[in-house]
Amino acid sequence: MPAAVQAQSQTKPPAKPQLEGAVQRAARSGELVLSGFADVPPLMMLSPQGQPSGYGILVAERIAAELSQAVGRPVKVRFAPIGDPASLVNSITSGKADLACGLPFSWGLDMQVDFSLPIGLSGVRLLAPSGRFDGSPAALAGRRIGVVRQSLGETELRGMQPKATPVAFDSLKAAVAAMQAGSVDGVIGDTIVLAGLVLQQGLPGLALSPALPYEAYAVSCVLAENDSAFRNVVNLAIARLLQGYLDGQPDTVTAVNRWLGPASALGLPESAIRASFEAVLLGVETIRPVLEGQAASTAR
């Protein structure tokens, strides 16, 4: 071994191999693996044939399209459903899945994964038979309230009404079924998902309260910590989707409205969707498409 090389090898330890990130996995496999629950309309649901759909799938498909541009090959979304919150986090941290979409920010979860730009806004509310509750935290004292295990809804309930009895379930669908069976008095959870479940299942005589959420929050995608290359792609894809809706791009408006808009099961007015998207994009640069002719003239 030449002396110079020998001296260098003695003073500089061998470089550790780089762990494969989501962009590299997509380049190798042509897949973007999406984790999540299969029964949280309008974010994610499965058809009788097992085909995934929902607003979360739309977001993932836009991220896959952005990845395709980044890696120079087609990338398709593969949905890998999970059954409980712990499995969702593990699927991301272990690299079995690349991302999950539709989660509210929490400090505990942020210690394990990274959050993307929000894909929308939601909040924590109570679903119960009409007239059972007045929406106040005081009315929850001494009541059995269904929550998703280790969720923001569970944390909110314990904080605002310690005298309530939280009953934990693996999903909001299971909690709502328990309420229908009479084993809990109400269910606290994500407003959009609870409303989606009521509409999907055609459940009569139920109401969401209070009029304003106990807590409002942004809903985002989560991905593995410290994978900045992938996070950049994810955030860019989300920003393009939200900006496209605000700019009135027909394909984007149609795609978003299918799951969230006035003619969807959820029935949000376009003004509400626009307001939430505008709030999300306040902290980032506006994306404006540049036509080929404009780009050429700028270059000259």
| pLDDT by residue, tens only, the chain of 300 residues | 333 333 333 333 433 334 679 999 999 999 999 999 888 889 999 888 889 999 999 999 999 999 999 999 999 999 999 988 788 899 999 999 999 999 988 888 899 999 999 999 999 999 999 999 999 999 999 999 999 988 889 999 999 999 999 999 988 999 999 999 999 999 999 999 999 899 889 999 999 999 889 999 999 999 999 999 999 999 999 999 999 999 999 999 999 999 999 988 788 899 999 999 999 999 888 887 655 554 444 444
Cα separation of 133 and 156, whole Å? Answer: 17
Nearest to 232 by CA among 66, 33, 30: 66
pLDDT given for residue 19 in this prediction: 66
**Count of all residues that appear for the chain in the document:** 300
Instruction: Match 């269910």 to its residue by tokens.
Output: 187
pTM confidence score: 0.82
pLDDT given for residue 291 in this prediction: 53
Domains of the chain, first to last: 20-121+217-289 (3.40.190.10), 124-216 (3.40.190.10)
Listing DSSP states for the chain in one string gives: --HHHHHHHHHSPPPPPPPP-HHHHHHHHSEEEEEE-SEETTTEEE-TTS-EESHHHHHHHHHHHHHHHHHTS--EEEEEE-SSHHHHHHHHHTTS-SEEEEEE--HHHHTTEEEEEEEEEEEEEEEEETTS--S-GGGGTT-EEEEETTSHHHHHHHHH-TTSEEEEESSHHHHHHHHHHTSSSEEEEEHHHHHHHHHHHT--SEEEE-SS-SEEEEEEEEEETT-HHHHHHHHHHHHHHHHHHHTT-HHHHHHHHHHSSTTSSS---HHHHHHHHHHHGGGSPPP----HHHHHHHH-
